[in-house]
Amino acid sequence: PRTHTITLLPGDGIGEEIMAATVDVLDAVAARFDLTLSMSSALMGGAAIDATGEPLPAATLDACRASDAVLLACIGGYKWDDLPRASRPETGLLALRKQLGLFANLRPAKAFAQLEGASSLKDEVVNGVDLMVVRELTGGVYFGTPKGIDTDPATGARVGYSNMVYHDYEVQRIARVALDIAMKRGKSLVSVDKANVLEVSQLWREEVIKAAADYPEVALSHMYVDNAAMQLVRWPKQFDVMVTGNLFGDVLSDCASMLVGSLGMLPSASLGDGSGPGVFEPVHGSAPDIAGTDAANPVACVLSAAMMLRYALGEFPAADAVEAAVEAVLDAGWRTGDIMSEGKTLVGCKRMGELIVDAV
Amino acid sequence: PRTHTITLLPGDGIGEEIMAATVDVLDAVAARFDLTLSMSSALMGGAAIDATGEPLPAATLDACRASDAVLLACIGGYKWDDLPRASRPETGLLALRKQLGLFANLRPAKAFAQLEGASSLKDEVVNGVDLMVVRELTGGVYFGTPKGIDTDPATGARVGYSNMVYHDYEVQRIARVALDIAMKRGKSLVSVDKANVLEVSQLWREEVIKAAADYPEVALSHMYVDNAAMQLVRWPKQFDVMVTGNLFGDVLSDCASMLVGSLGMLPSASLGDGSGPGVFEPVHGSAPDIAGTDAANPVACVLSAAMMLRYALGEFPAADAVEAAVEAVLDAGWRTGDIMSEGKTLVGCKRMGELIVDAV
Ligand SMILES: CC(C)[C@H](C(=O)O)[C@@H](O)C(=O)O
Ligand SMILES: CC(C)[C@H](C(=O)O)[C@@H](O)C(=O)O
């Protein structure tokens, strides 16, 4: 059997529950497709802070580096919200992305026919939506310098600043990832910026145009971020692949998630240049309010594992099988609370995982 | 009769048409309420570039400064998109805001019962939505320094950067505007930031909290911008007043506009410290593709005039009368193309203006 090493980062809140369900699903596909998935857990986020004082301990980073892929559930919670920024769960996540060079964050938003009615948008607006947000993940205002908060010692006046910065090569490489994806999909790419106001966006737009010259088959267009947020809500079916910077991608992908009806259904993949492992994680957070109640939806984590099988491990039939199993369970009417509707059967996180295992 | 001086900036695209309709409405309320509205037009945006080479000629700025209020239709168009940034229409708009010190941009999003069905969101999600986005307008990444695009002379490598900057006093004054508005409304304020990642947002949050200490009756909460974009689509009725920075406000207010169904219905007010005139303008752009075809919706501009009557000129009954006239025309089933639906009567921009005049 082929062997793959996977580091699991259950993190905080509902992380343990959804990770447990996902590991069961991975064990099931491994059995069916004769794979050896060597999985071991490491501490990350609030759990790591509690145990070691740091959100991303060196041992965790080493374990990630030594594996073929990283599966992350979710991190954060009220408990750690008042810590100084350097020792907060989110800082660990940002460091993980940066340390592993994960510059490309793929966030698909695909409407599930089975969840018709789950979105706050009208059915005819979201039916058949199938788009991919390609978000730059290691640059922009998240990592730019100078940044800080200065206090004038004389007056006490304060100023905060965070520089939004992009280098040409950063834009080039994310643009090429998006263009490659567009070639495998509908050959249409919308680059989102604020080039009518921001210098950094002007550079972004120019570099995207340059990169696209090598992809004559891809229809490239540009949209301002304010308009893009609006168009995602107005008529999302106009989009195939979108590419944008770190901050705009953060906002637009969350906005796009509403098209599907629940954050609980949305996976993501964070990829680098291929020299190290990618990180696969649900788009949702750690939902501390429902943690430990078996109410979480494990599907986003399970679908993240499917993305891992496909993008990191090259196990395409296994990836397809996991996705098909999720569809089958939805077809059969099983629902967690976040996607529950009339006539369907409500199940908890654990049971949802078992159902997906059975379908695999 | 009381006299008010108003500078009109019709701008570009559909600007002339919607401004003409709005001026007729202003003439009608002036007659009814015995006001003297002394209105004169000045060049701004692309129209000004064509005539003078500059998007905001000094004569226009002087005229604005000398008046009690400024009514702006819309600016921009493909024609000027390839000009260098300094001489583009948008740059004139940014300069107008900065020069007049218009730090507070009020963008109400109120669902019209008459337009039920116009939104891409479900009726039960948007029915009764009534929120106000208070956007900081003269700071943040729009105006921060350093900014620019540098090229390494040796390698040709390029980097673009735009600094997101807020000073404590900038946050204080916009927070107080939002808190004052919240006191007159539902006493609930959501401040939107990205304080889990950005230093500038951390300062923002701290200063908002300080300002709110003087408003013990207002329930203040904080939301990350990604979540805010999602919540606006998921369940917008949770919001009363939102306050946020320049860029986040740009995106969130456009997103919020979709709740109402059409950008063509949305007014805005940009206010300073009261020492100079405010600028009142629709949220929509200049729609060059329909310019000159009498297809534009003048309502956003008319409602901006109503905001002007209320916020700048203190003519409350006149403001109420304009808004009531718009409601009456919608009640009677008249619709421009953007808000047309089955069983209603389609009219052009000019006729829509006349109908509102009649209703006044
Ligand atoms: C938790 C936070 C730092 C993170 C981000 O902003 O990138 C999250 O919102 C995400 O989108 O993965
Ligand atoms: C035209 C553009 C500069 C402007 C902005 O970003 O402020 C517009 O989008 C707006 O919201 O008024």
pTM: 0.96
Q: Express each pLDDT in B81-96 by its tens digit.
A: 888 888 899 999 999 9
Question: A204 and A250 share a domain?
Answer: yes
Domain with residue B93: its CATH number is: 3.40.718.10
What pLDDT is stored for residue A96 in this prediction?
Answer: 97
* Beta pairing, strands B35-41 & B130-136: unpaired
pLDDT score of B28 more than 90? yes
What pLDDT is stored for residue A70 in this prediction?
Answer: 98
Question: A199 and A302 share a domain?
Answer: no
Q: What is the dihedral of CA A114, A118, A122, A123, to 10 degrees?
A: 0
Domain range enclosing B289: 1-116+262-360
Question: A32 and A71 share a domain?
Answer: yes
Question: A313 and A346 share a domain?
Answer: yes
| Pocket residue to mutate for ligand 1, from A94, A107, A244, A266, most atoms within 8 A of Cβ | A94
Among A163, A203, A254, whose Cβ lies nearest the Cβ of B149? A203
Say how many C-beta atoms besides its own lie within 10 A of residue B76's C-beta: 24
Q: Which residues of A touch B252 (CB under 8 A)?
A: 229
- For residue A31, the Cα-to-chain-centroid distance in whole angstroms is 27
Residue B250 inside a domain? The answer is no
Domain end residue (candidates: A235, A260, A285):
A260
Minimum CA distance residue for ligand 2 atom 4: B90
Beta strand extents in A267-322 (DSSP E only) = 267-271, 278-282
Looking at the DSSP assignment, which residues form a beta bridge with residue A166?
B160
Residue B307 inside a domain? The answer is yes
Q: Express each pLDDT in B125-178 by its tens digit.
A: 999 999 999 999 999 999 999 999 999 999 999 999 999 999 999 999 999 999
* pLDDT averaged per 10 residues, chain A (length 360): 96 98 98 98 97 97 98 94 88 97 97 92 96 98 97 96 98 98 97 96 98 98 97 97 98 94 94 96 94 97 98 97 98 96 96 98
Q: Rounded distance, CA A273 to CA A260, Å?
A: 29
- Give residue B326 CA to ligand 2 midpoint distance, Å: 25
Question: A244 and A304 share a domain?
Answer: no
* Closest residue, chain A, to B80 (C-alpha): A196
Question: A61 and A129 share a domain?
Answer: no
Q: How far apart are the first and last CA of chain A?
A: 18
| Pocket residue to mutate for ligand 1, from B192, B196, B223, B248, most atoms within 8 A of Cβ | B196
Mean confidence (pLDDT) of chain B: 96
Q: Express each pLDDT in B209-243 by its tens digit.
A: 999 999 999 999 999 999 999 999 999 999 999 99
Please, which contacts does B342-349 make with residues 24 or more away whose CB atoms are closer than 8 Å? B348/B294, B348/B295, B349/B14, B349/B17, B349/B18, B349/B21, B349/B294, B349/B295, B349/B296, B349/B297, B349/B298
Cβ A288 vs Cβ A79: under 8 Å: yes
What pLDDT is stored for residue B261 in this prediction?
Answer: 85
Q: Which of A186, A177, A175 is nearest to A209 (CA)?
A: A175
In one-letter notation, the amino acid at residue A220 is L
Question: A92 and A159 share a domain?
Answer: no
Does residue B250 carry a catalytic annotation?
Answer: yes
What pLDDT is stored for residue A237 in this prediction?
Answer: 98
Beta strand extents in chain A (DSSP E only) = 2-11, 35-41, 69-74, 104-110, 130-136, 147-151, 158-167, 188-193, 219-224, 241-244, 267-271, 278-282, 334-335, 345-346
SS (H, E, C) chain B: CEEEEEEEEEECCCHHHHHHHHHHHHHHHHHHHCEEEEEEECCCCHHHHHHHCCCCCHHHHHHHHCCCEEEEEECCCHHHCCCCHHHCHHHHHHHHHHHCCCCEEEEEEECCHHHCCCCCECHHHHCCCEEEEEEECCCHHHCCCCEEEEECCCCCCEEEEEEEEEEHHHHHHHHHHHHHHHHHCCCEEEEEECCCCCHHHHHHHHHHHHHHCCCCCCEEEEEEHHHHHHHHHHCHHHCCEEEECHHHHHHHHHHHHHHHCCHHHCEEEEECCCCCCEEEEECCCCCHHHCCCCCCCCHHHHHHHHHHHHHHCCCHHHHHHHHHHHHHHHHCCEECHHHCCCCCEECCHHHHHHHHHHHC
Q: Rounded distance, CA B64 to CA B43, Å?
A: 11
Q: Which of B164, B90, B284 is nearest to A196 (CA)?
A: B90
In chain B, the percentage of residues whose pLDDT exceeds 90 is 95
pLDDT score of B244 more than 90? yes
A214: left (phi over 0), alpha (psi -120 to 50) or beta: alpha
Among B160, B163, B168, whose Cβ lies nearest the Cβ of A203? B160
The finding on whether A116 has its CB within 6 A of some atom of ligand 2 is no
Cβ A239 vs Cβ A190: under 8 Å: yes
* Residue A63: partners with Cβ closer than 8 Å, 6 or more residues away: A7, A40, A42
Minimum CA distance residue for ligand 1 atom 3: A90
Minimum CA distance residue for ligand 1 atom 10: A250
Domain end residue (candidates: A260, A294, A325):
A260
* Residue A154: partners with Cβ closer than 8 Å, 6 or more residues away: none
In one-letter notation, the amino acid at residue A300 is A
Q: Express each pLDDT in B283-324 by its tens digit.
A: 999 999 999 999 999 999 999 999 999 999 999 999 999 999
What pLDDT is stored for residue A307 in this prediction?
Answer: 97
Peptide bond into B10 cis (omega under 30): no
Residue B237 inside a domain? The answer is yes
**Angle B220-A158-A193 from CA coordinates, rounded to 5°:** 75
- Give residue B23 CA to ligand 1 midpoint distance, Å: 47
Cβ B180 vs Cβ B104: under 8 Å: no
Question: B61 and B163 share a domain?
Answer: no
Helix B225-234 and helix B246-260, axial crossing angle in degrees, nearest 10: 10
- Structure confidence at residue B330 as a pLDDT band (50, 70, 90): very high
A to B CB pairs, distance under 8 Å: 175
- For residue B265, the Cα-to-chain-centroid distance in whole angstroms is 11
Q: Rounded distance, CA A180 to CA A158, Å?
A: 45
Looking at the DSSP assignment, which residues form a beta bridge with residue A161?
A148, B165
Question: B179 and B290 share a domain?
Answer: no
The dihedral of CA B64, B65, B71, B76: what is its sign?
positive
- Give residue B119 CA to ligand 1 midpoint distance, Å: 29
Q: Express each pLDDT in A147-205 by its tens digit.
A: 999 999 999 999 999 999 999 999 999 999 999 999 999 999 999 999 999 999 999 99
Domain end residue (candidates: A231, A260, A289):
A260
- The pair of structure tokens assigned to A239 is 């989009």
Identify the residues whose C-beta falls under 6 Å from ligand 1.
A 90, 93-94, 250; B 196-197, 226
Residue B162 inside a domain? The answer is yes
CB contact under 8 A, B202 and A120: no
- The pair of structure tokens assigned to B252 is 């969130």
Q: Express each pLDDT in B251-277 by its tens digit.
A: 999 999 999 988 999 999 999 999 999
The finding on whether B250 has its CB within 6 A of some atom of ligand 2 is yes
Mean pLDDT of B54-67: 98
Cβ A88 vs Cβ A33: under 8 Å: no
The finding on whether A197 has its CB within 6 A of some atom of ligand 2 is yes
What pLDDT is stored for residue B151 in this prediction?
Answer: 97
The finding on whether B16 has its CB within 6 A of some atom of ligand 2 is no
Question: B67 and B20 share a domain?
Answer: yes
What pLDDT is stored for residue A81 in this prediction?
Answer: 85
- When divided into structural domains, chain A yields a total of 2
Question: B95 and B162 share a domain?
Answer: no
Name the residues of A annotated as catalytic: 142, 194, 226, 250, 254
What pLDDT is stored for residue B86 in this prediction?
Answer: 86
Q: Rounded distance, CA B118 to CA B137, Å?
A: 29
Distance from CA of B24 to the nearest CA of A (A): 30
Q: Express each pLDDT in B93-120 by its tens digit.
A: 999 999 999 999 999 999 999 998 889 9
Question: B192 and B230 share a domain?
Answer: yes
Say how many C-beta atoms besides its own lie within 10 A of residue B108's C-beta: 21
Q: What is the dihedral of CA B221, B226, B228, B230, to 10 degrees?
A: -140
